[in-house]
Amino acid sequence: MTLTACGIRPTSVLTGAEAPTVSSHSVTIYLVKPERDGLVRRNRDYTGTVDITTAMNLLLAGLTDEEQKLGLVSELPTTSAKAIAVQNVIVMPQGVEPPSSKWAVFQVHCTALASRAKVAGVESLPDENCP
């Protein structure tokens, strides 16, 4: 049996750069209803590496324009400081006081629960408080 080719000369393997990758995730946070009588579950798209602090850091970054237009509220202070993870416990950024209002505690608890973590200094609540 004879094999023929189409006249293209063999070349060495040509390698290129790594293929670009983008990792996009939906991250869950909890905000307070405009009437301040309950929580609203919000999913935000996040591009990049996600760990257990990502949702908490998005929550601490404040409301998006859309969330403001909807009248949603956060009872947590807005900060660009980042929470950190120590095992499965989220430690709030230095200078951020523990939540003091009922809804602020619920926001932190439910957001952490959605990330499968606990927040240092925030008491665990029954899951039925999280919509």
User: Quick check: is 68 in a domain?
Assistant: yes
Q: What is the spatial distance between Cα 50 and Cα 54, in angstroms, rounded to a whole number?
A: 6
> Are the beta carbons of 22 and 49 closer than 8 angstroms?
no
Residue-wise pLDDT tens digits, 11-28: 666 565 665 555 568 999
- How buried is residue 94: exposed, middle or buried, by Cβ count under 10 Å (0-12/13-18/19+)? exposed
User: Quick check: is 115 in a domain?
Assistant: yes
Phi and psi dihedrals of 8, rounded to 5?
-85, 130
106 is in which domain, residue-wise? 25-129
Residue-wise pLDDT tens digits, 78-102: 999 999 988 888 999 988 888 889 9
User: Quick check: is 20 in a domain?
Assistant: no
User: Quick check: is 74 in a domain?
Assistant: yes
Q: Tell me the average pLDDT across 97-108.
A: 91
User: Quick check: is 10 in a domain?
Assistant: no
Amino acid at 6: C
Total of domains in the chain: 1
User: Quick check: is 31 in a domain?
Assistant: yes
Output the pTM of the full model. 0.77
